[in-house]
Each structure stands twice: as C-alpha cells, then as structure tokens.
Structure 1
Amino acid sequence: MGPRRFVFLDPDGSAGGWLYAVVEAATGVVYQQQYGGTACRQGQVEGFLVPLFEPDGLDALRELFERDFRGAGTRHITWPEAQRERLRGIIGALRYWVSDGISEEPHPLRLDDSRFGAADEAWVPVITPDGPATLVWLNSD
C-alpha cells in the first residue's frame, strides 16, 4: 500500500448538516475529525466514509449532546442510563446502506457498547453491516 492520506472532515465548519459513518478498514485513508463540543478533541479513523442522510437523526444527536450535555463533551462523565438509552435509540433509528453492491435494503446501525467509553459529541462508535465504524457529524464548538 502507498502512503497514507489524511482527510480532515469539514476543516472550517462551513459544510452544514452532515452525518457520516467511517467504517474501519485498511484503506490508507485516515479521516480526521474535531469532536467533543467545546473540548475540541481530535480523532482519526482509517477506513471508508459512508454518507448518511438522516436529518431527524442528526437533529436528535445534536439535541442530546448540545442540550443535555451542554456541548462540553462527555469524556470523564458517567452517562445517566436515560441518556445512554436515548443515544442507543437514536443510533438504532439511523439507516445504513450496505456497501457490498448487492443489498438494496437499509440496515439499522447499532451503538458499539464495547467502545462506549469513546462516545462523545460528533464521535460515536457504532456497528454497521460492514463492521465497526465511527459516526461523525459537525462538532458544535
């Protein structure tokens, strides 16, 4: 494989309402994202990007992180069970189209409980039919 390439998602914050799943895979392309609200954390994940068109889901994610958690990120916070279940419900309502070129049906995403400690605003570990992924969207800071 050649040199790795780095793609910063929406570096100047001007792209508007977007929601992507970055599926982990050895592609040589590393997506970088600012996340965690005003904590302004930096994350990166190697894989392939799958755009999701889910305006209601995006609004629900933003409401949860920006209103309930006040846009300050969730690192070192013990999530109340009600918010954790709400996040699980929001993620489960998102639809993902499999990248195998055969399937023509959307599938729900699942919150990846094994990596829940990494969940933060604009950076949520999920499971797709294509494998583990990170759900990303425009950080609120």
Structure 2
Amino acid sequence: MVEAPTGALHQHQYGGTACRSGQVEGFLMPLFAPAAPAALRELFERHFRGAGTWRHAWSDEERRRLRAIVETVRHWTSDGVTELPHPLQLDEDRLDRADEAWVPVLTPDGPAVLVWSNSD
C-alpha cells in the first residue's frame, strides 16, 4: 500500500497472534514476488514464532534477512512511462514499525507498507 493523499483508507490486520490493526491512506499497487510469501512466513511465523515483532530490537542478521526478502519483491511504478519493475527497499528508518504482515518499504512512488495475509 503506497502512502499518498488519495482519500482512500486501507486497513489490515497484522502482528501474528498480537492481532494489531493498521491503516494507510493511499493506493494499492501490483507486485511480483513468487518466493517472498514463503520467505516472509518462514521469518515471521517460524523464527519469530508468530507472536509479532512490534518494537523488536532487530539483530543485524534479522535485518539483513528481511532486507533480502523485501528486495525480491518487484513493483511497477505509476508514472506511466517505466515498463520495468523495481525492487522494493526496506525502509530502515521505520523498521521499528515492522511486524508480521506489515513491513515499511520504499518504492519509486514513495513510502509504502508491504502487507500479506496474517498468520492469525
């Protein structure tokens, strides 16, 4: 979900069994990431045991792992010119907000949140 002043609010449950609820004003974007869902589930459901990671102190290895997964996700810009997809980037300035099914990312269209089906 790309953050933008659109007037459209998108809500999403995240955080594993913590059952948090987040909201973003903006727009949805198409993504291509055939391997990312399994890798994200492995990290958040197995490594973190599905209990959420709100305000987690990420180790260098955990941060590297999440960054590598996020970079496998491809995004097409909304500029109407660029035909090639761009990899997402982990927004490390907002990493303290990252949780299962809610990861702050950067796109060519601006800041966004990468979401997927929560395990809970």
Tell me the TM-score range normalised by the shorter chain. Answer: over 0.9
Letter paired with 2:11: Q
Aligned to 1:29: 8
Dislocated runs of 4+, deviation >4 Å: none
Aligned to 2:30: 51
Distance 1:76 1:117 in 2: 5
Is it true that 1:82 corresponds to 2:74 in the alignment?
A: no
Structure 1 runs not aligned, ≥5 long = 1-21
Structure 2 runs not aligned, ≥5 long = none
Is it true that 1:61 corresponds to 2:44 in the alignment?
A: no
Aligned to 1:139: 118
Is it true that 1:100 corresponds to 2:86 in the alignment?
A: no
Question: Match of 1:50, SS?
Answer: coil
Letter paired with 2:12: Q
Distance 1:32 1:121 in 2: 15
Between structure 1 and structure 2, the one with the greater Rg is: 1
Distance 2:98 2:4 in 1: 20
Question: Match of 1:98, SS?
Answer: coil
Distance 1:42 1:74 in 2: 14
Distance 2:3 2:57 in 1: 26
CA RMSD of aligned residues (A): 0.9
Distance 2:19 2:37 in 1: 19
Letter paired with 1:100: D
Offset at residue 104 of structure 1 (A): 0.4
Percentage identity across aligned positions?
65
Distance 2:84 2:50 in 1: 34
Letter paired with 1:112: D
Aligned to 1:72: 51
Which one of the candidate residues 128, 133, 136 is aligned to 2:107? 128
2:17/2:119 contact within 8 Å kept? yes
